[in-house]
Amino acid sequence: MSKKLSYALLLGAVLIAPLLAVSQTGSNKPAAKSAPENRLDTAITYNPMAAGLISGNNFWMEGVSGQLNGRLWRRLSLTADIGDQHNGNMRSSGVGLDMVTTTFGPRYSWQRNKYTFYGQMLAGEAFGRNSIFPGVGGPTSTANSLALLGGGGINRQLNKRFTVRLFEADWMHTQLPNSTTNAQNNLRLGVGIVVRIK
């Protein structure tokens, strides 16, 4: 794990920790009717991703992600997302790619009966490995870059503790070296399970 990724994880923990305190102190206050009931939840999702959409050299990656989401105020919450994507042979080139993204940012949610709709905009770091990245000193097998993740999804509540993530779609932008534009625009999809913690 790179030092930058370690720092990003530490930053995420620091940002999420106050949410535990907020959920403890605010538990006696009645929730707004339009606000989601959950104060703190975690999600595990399966994420197929269409990579390189704009360049035309697109290919599919498979992956999983874990999210921690804590409500700050009414419909606004803070989300941390850690995702891992893999393709062992991009476009039959014999070169693979593994990519870990760590992103944090705001999420806006609203409820209709048992359904919760949300939109989010997250930012952080992408760490590419097990591939070939061009560089000034020659190619390397690892690289870091900015990662932006924006989109939304739909959850359906099963009971007080468990919710199904019916669908999530996010635009993911990374800037890993690739000897052309050094920019990648991807579509990450997701389905999974959400568990209420608080």
Q: DSSP letters of 129-194? A: ESS-B--TTS-BS-EEEEEEEEEEEEEEE-SSSEEEEEEEEEEEEE----SSSS-EEEEEEEEEEE
Tokens representing 134 are 């061009």
- As a whole number, mean pLDDT of residues 50-72 equals 87
Phi and psi at 56, nearest 5°, equal 90, -15
Q: Which residues of 70-87 are buried (b: 16+ CB within 10 A; e: fewer)?
A: bbeeebebbbbbbbbbeb
Instruction: Say what the pLDDT of residue 162 is.
Output: 96
Domain around 183? 3-27+35-196
Instruction: Say what the pLDDT of residue 103 is.
Output: 98
71/23 Cα distance (integer angstroms): 8
Neighbours of 63 (CB within 10 A): 20
pLDDT beyond 50 at 35: no
184/177 Cα distance (integer angstroms): 9
Q: Which is more confident, 82 or 90? A: 82
Domain count within the chain:
1
Q: Give the pLDDT confidence of 13-31 residue by residue, as tens digits.
A: 444 444 444 444 444 444 4
Helix (H, G, I), strand (E, B) or coil at 41: strand
Place of tokens 């905009």: 121
Q: What is the percent of the chain where pLDDT is above 70?
A: 79
pLDDT beyond 50 at 142: yes
pLDDT beyond 90 at 178: no
Instruction: Say what the pLDDT of residue 104 is.
Output: 97
Instruction: Say what the pLDDT of residue 167 is.
Output: 97
What CATH number is given to the structural domain containing 46? 2.40.160.20
- As a whole number, mean pLDDT of residues 71-89 equals 94
- As a whole number, mean pLDDT of residues 98-113 equals 96
Instruction: Say what the pLDDT of residue 53 is.
Output: 62
